[in-house]
């Protein structure tokens, strides 16, 4: 397993079939404006508890540099909360999840706002999977 507060390549969701499943809404959704969190329990090839995808739709944020900035903020929020998420998943060993954190607003958020919302979402995720 990768380091505690890192986000390695194996932990990023790149499988086209799994991404399609997420965007077809096959997983469960937790929303706390401006974020949506989609998760789906599936077996993964890599030995990591979860793989994650970060998404900012072009329809909401037109400029690429702003979308990239928001994704950087979301990655940092996830990276800091990753030990909590892995602890929740490892309560029942052998489970693996694909996760998607999606931003659904037109304005650029502050880091503390995103961090607060991700904590709420990840706590709700823990309640749903346990």
**What is the pLDDT, as a whole number, of residue 1?**
47
Q: What is the tens place of the pLDDT at every residue in 17-41?
A: 999 999 898 889 999 999 999 999 9
Contact yes or no for 83/41 (Cβ under 8 A): no
Mean pLDDT of 47-56: 94
Hey, what domains does the chain have and what are their CATH numbers?
Answer: 9-129 (3.30.230.10)
Reduced to 3 states, what is the DSSP secondary structure of residue 72?
helix
Q: How many CB atoms lie within 10 A of CB 82?
A: 21
Contact yes or no for 30/128 (Cβ under 8 A): yes
pTM score, two decimals? 0.90
Q: What is the tens place of the pLDDT at every residue in 113-126?
A: 999 999 999 999 99
């Amino acid at each position: 397993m990768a380091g505690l507060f890192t986000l390695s390549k194996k932990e990023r969701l790149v499988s086209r079939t799994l991404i399609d499943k997420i965007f077809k809404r096959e997983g469960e959704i937790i929303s706390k404006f401006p974020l949506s969190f989609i998760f789906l329990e599936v077996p993964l090839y890599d030995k990591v508890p979860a793989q994650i995808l970060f998404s900012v739709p072009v329809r909401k944020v037109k400029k690429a540099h702003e979308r990239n900035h928001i994704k950087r903020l979301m990655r940092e929020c996830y990276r800091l909360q990753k030990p909590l998420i892995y602890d929740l998943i490892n309560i029942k060993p052998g489970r693996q999840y694909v996760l998607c954190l999606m931003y659904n607003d037109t304005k650029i958020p502050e880091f503390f706002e995103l961090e607060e919302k991700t904590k709420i979402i990840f706590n709700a995720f823990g309640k749903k999977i346990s």
